[in-house]
Amino acid sequence: MEKQVLIKDLAEMKQFAQSVSRFVVPGFVLCLSGDLGAGKTTFTQFLGDAMGIKDAINSPTFTLMKIYDHQLPLYHIDAYRLEGVGSDAQLEEYIYGDGVCVIEWYQYIYHSIPNDCLVIDIEWVSKTERLLRLKGSGMYASILKNLGD
């Protein structure tokens, strides 16, 4: 299933992340794509906040992954530097783990991504607006029906 949501500003992005947080369960996989600066890490910060994570969430670009321990752990992966690496990154234990896995630049490790996941492509529309293109299958398809309305 696919859906589009227009986000007018950061307040709406935060609200959308809060909506997504209502559906996270152990093993939840969220794949983010979009240009540099489009809002992937910002969305992840808002999601973590909505999950009750108090730690500062920032981009794991240079560390590859950051783990935020919480009642439901958040595994934040940035695969930007993994283009062409293949499955050598050994991230599967987190992607298929017991927490919520958010993967920025997931297309660089697409072979490690489960068939059922939530994909959000973030596209700039104007200085403050973003268009979110959502895709999901399996349980994520039913989640999409309840997001962004």
* The pLDDT value given to residue 84: 61
Single-letter residue type at 95: I
Tell me the DSSP string of 10-78: HHHHHHHHHHHHTT--TT-EEEEEESTTSSHHHHHHHHHHHTT--SPP---TTTSEEEE-SSS-EEEEE
> Does residue 63 or residue 117 have the better pLDDT?
117
61 band by pLDDT with thresholds 50, 70 and 90 = confident
Write down the domain spans for the chain.
25-121
* The pLDDT value given to residue 86: 55
Backbone angles phi, psi at 68, to 5 degrees: -110, 105
134, 144 contact by CB (below 8 A): yes
Q: What is the pLDDT of residues 70-126, one digit of tens each?
A: 999 999 999 988 776 655 557 889 999 999 999 999 999 988 899 999 999 999 999
Distance (Å, whole) CA 126 – CA 106: 24
Residue 20: is its pLDDT beyond 70?
Answer: yes
* The pLDDT value given to residue 147: 82
What angle is formed at CA 76 by the lines to CA 136 and CA 111, rounded to 5 degrees?
55
Structure tokens at 134: 């959502």
Single-letter residue type at 121: D
Q: What is the pLDDT of residues 32-60, one digit of tens each?
A: 999 888 999 999 999 999 999 999 998 87
Could you tell me which CATH class the domain 25-121 is placed in? alpha beta
112, 95 contact by CB (below 8 A): yes
Q: What is the pTM of this model?
A: 0.92
* The pLDDT value given to residue 85: 61
149 band by pLDDT with thresholds 50, 70 and 90 = low
> Does residue 63 or residue 29 have the better pLDDT?
29
